[in-house]
Amino acid sequence: MDTLYILFVLPLLIVFSYLFDSFSRKTKFPSVILLMITGILFRFFTSFSGYDNFTFLDNLIPVLGTIGLILIVLEGAIELEISRKKLPLILKGFLAAFIILAVNIFVLKWIFENIFDLQNTVAALFAIPLSIISSAVAIPSATGLIDYEREFVIYESTFSDILGIMIFNYALRQYESKQALIGVAPLVSLGLQIIGVIVISLLITYVLFKLIRQIDHHVKFFLILALLILVYAFGKLFHLPALVTIFIFGIFISNAKNLLPKIFRNYIDLDNSKNEIHEFHILTAESTFLVRTFFFLFFGFSIKISDFGSLTPLFSGIVIILVMLFIRYLYFSFTTLKFKPNPITYMSPRGLISILLFIQLKDVAFINIEQSIIDERTLLIVILVSMLVMLGGTIKKQKGPNEIMIDNEESVSVEMDVDPSESSNNQI
């Protein structure tokens, strides 16, 4: 491909992505949908012109997706404030992520096995990716919510990513070794792995934090990002939940003042560290924007419109979406005793993680994804419809008095004369 052509196309794609992101912030319409549609249209026109050799995307998309996942989890963790007052919110986010994820996996597995007639192991491995909330979509889409709800979405979606990947790798390892999924020995082994990863993560976080403080070279933040990617790669190699390390590192560097014991604070210039962390956060946000742009563009580019000649993927996708929404509605209805759906009920998009795990399923020996009723077309339907549901459920159409929940315990009524996208009148 001509170099000059590439120099025109790549900057224009970034410009379009920036415009999509600005449009998304004002309208709440997910920018990733626009990116995927742009990629699909580019593929249509390039295929129409006779050039249709894009095998390089098979390796490029997983790499971009993995780097994007690391950056998104890191950026979300850096934005979170950890304090004793936040602990109930963190626990609620974790419980929501774990319970909704587990119930979704169980119900979808039953449907795939008994209605779609898939094998037990195949049904489970398809159910897991489709049950994971995408933090890559949920976190940017939560900017219009009040602080409490926005932080809840960040915690829930991040925990859903981490737990979903852990469960998927665990299930895949058990099935490939032809061992039982539920058993005392494998579950104990998994628990010890998690504890070990947390301990190692704390040590790695300490080392990286010291590096940020001591390196005086004008280029150091990309070094930290490179080391984090290496840590994730090693964790992936040994089937360990390395996202936990990324999450702990992001939480620690942004909350060092609250998390460090007093005896260690005297040895660190926290005021100067705050400025450096702010610069690191800006770099992370910029890098996340760039990687997310090209990931969803290339994912859309990998899709052929001609593949959607059957209604089966649409039917399968709608069934999955209805199950997902019903389970989520039941959970928040019973935990809040409010049976009117609130914006959080609809904040359950699928995206980057589901795509990455589906790509990983292509390499599983006992799964033929091309001949399965659940395939990448179904995945695309689920992703697009879940995002549109999120959009429809979170848009506020009325102005006026709104009840804002404070710390999920106290409520005050205030007269609001602002754009409805800036407020929320529901409790988590």
Residues 231-257: what's their mean pLDDT?
A: 81
Helix (H, G, I), strand (E, B) or coil at 411: strand
Residues 176-197: what's their mean pLDDT?
A: 79
Q: What's the CA gap between 101 and 205, in Å, rounded?
A: 28
Which pLDDT does position 110 carry in this prediction?
94
Which pLDDT does position 20 carry in this prediction?
85
CA-derived radius of gyration, the chain: 22
Contact 333, 339 (CB under 8 A): yes
For 422, the token pair is 């800036």
Structural domains in the chain?
56-386 (1.20.1530.20)
* C-beta atoms surrounding 45 within 10 Å: 9
For 369, the token pair is 């994804």
Q: Could you give the C-alpha distances from 297 to 40, 115, 132, in angstroms and in order?
A: 8, 34, 21
List all residues 6 or more positions away from 420 whose beta carbon is below 8 Å from its beta carbon. Answer: 395, 396, 397, 398, 399
pLDDT at 34 over 90: no
For strands 400-406 and 410-416, give the pairing. Answer: antiparallel
pLDDT category at 53 given cuts 50, 70, 90 is: low
* C-beta atoms surrounding 167 within 10 Å: 21
**pTM for the complete prediction?**
0.80
Question: Which own/partner contact pairs does 220-225 have at CB distance under 8 Å and 24+ positions apart?
Answer: 221/279, 221/280, 221/283, 222/283, 224/280, 225/71, 225/283, 225/284, 225/287
Residues 20-42: what's their mean pLDDT?
A: 83
Q: What's the CA gap between 153 and 201, in Å, rounded?
A: 24
Q: What's the CA gap between 145 and 149, in Å, rounded?
A: 6
Q: What is the pLDDT of residues 318-377, one digit of tens each?
A: 999 999 999 999 999 988 888 788 888 888 899 888 988 888 888 787 787 777 888 888
pLDDT category at 181 given cuts 50, 70, 90 is: confident
Q: Which strand (E) or helix (H) includes residue 410?
A: strand 410-416
Q: What's the CA gap between 158 and 89, in Å, rounded?
A: 13
Q: Which residue has the higher pLDDT, 403 or 4?
A: 4
Q: What's the CA gap between 290 and 14, in Å, rounded?
A: 7
For 129, the token pair is 């990716």
Which pLDDT does position 2 carry in this prediction?
67
Q: Closest Cα partner for 133 from 316, 291, 325, 287? A: 325
